[in-house]
Amino acid sequence: MELLEKRIISEGSILPGNVIKVGSFLNHQIDVKLLLEMGREVKRLFEGEKITKILTVEASGIAVATAFAAVMDTMVVFAKKHGTSNISGDIICCRTHSYTHNNDYNMVVEKKYLTGQDRILIVDDFLANGQALNSLVDIVRQSDAELVGCAVAIEKGFQHGGDKLRQKGIRVESLAIIDSIENGEIRFRK
C-alpha cells in the first residue's frame, strides 16, 4: 500500500536489531485516518470472506485492529499478556516470545469470546519472525472459531515469519512488506 510505504520511508527510523520505529503514526502517536484507510484496503483484500471478529494482541495491535474493525463492522478481541503460566478456568492460553522485549509471556483469551459462530481475522501492527501471529493462530485453533487469515500493517519479509505462515496454508496479507534494509535504505517487496 503506497500510502503506508511513503509514511514508513518519510517518518520511520531503524533501531538496532532492525527494529523499525514508526511512533509518529502507528506505535505512539496514532494517525487514525491512515489506519482507517488501511482498514479499507484490508476489507477490499478480504472481500467475499465472512469475518465476524478481529483478534489481536495487546498493546500495539489494538489500535490497528480497532480501526480495521470499524471499517469491517466487527468486534475486536485482544489477547492479554500474562507473565505467569498459572492460569485456569475457561481460558485459552499460548506461550510466546516477544521480539521487541526479548522475553517469554502467555497470551490469554477468555474462551467465550471466540465461539463456534466466529470467523476470525488475526491482525497485528508488525510481522517479523511470526511468533505473535503463530500464537494467535494457535489460540484460534484451540477455540471453536474458524480462522479466515491474517492482516498485518508492516511485514519484515527478511525475517521470513510471513512466508512460513503462508507455507502452512495460512492466508497472510501485509499492507507493506519490507524485503531488505541496507545502510538505512528500506526496500519494499513489489
Instruction: Name the residues that contact ligand 5GP, by CB under 6 A.
Output: 19-20, 27, 60-61, 99-100, 124-132, 156, 161
Q: Which is nearer to ligand 5GP, 23 or 115 (CB)?
A: 23
User: How many other CB atoms sit within 10 Å of the CB of residue 131?
Assistant: 16
Which three three-digit cell numbers place residue 164?
512460513
- Least distance (Å) between residue 46 CB and ligand 5GP: 20
Q: Which is nearer to ligand 5GP, 98 or 117 (CB)?
A: 98
- Least distance (Å) between residue 131 CB and ligand 5GP: 3
Q: Which is nearer to ligand 5GP, 13 or 117 (CB)?
A: 13
Give the closest residue to 8 by CA, choosing from 184, 150, 189, 186. 186
Cis peptide before 176 (omega within 30 of 0): no
**3-state SS assignment for residue 138:** helix
Q: Which is nearer to ligand 5GP, 63 or 128 (CB)?
A: 128
- Least distance (Å) between residue 5 CB and ligand 5GP: 15
Give residues with Cβ within 8 angstroms of 85, minimum separation 6: 93, 95, 106
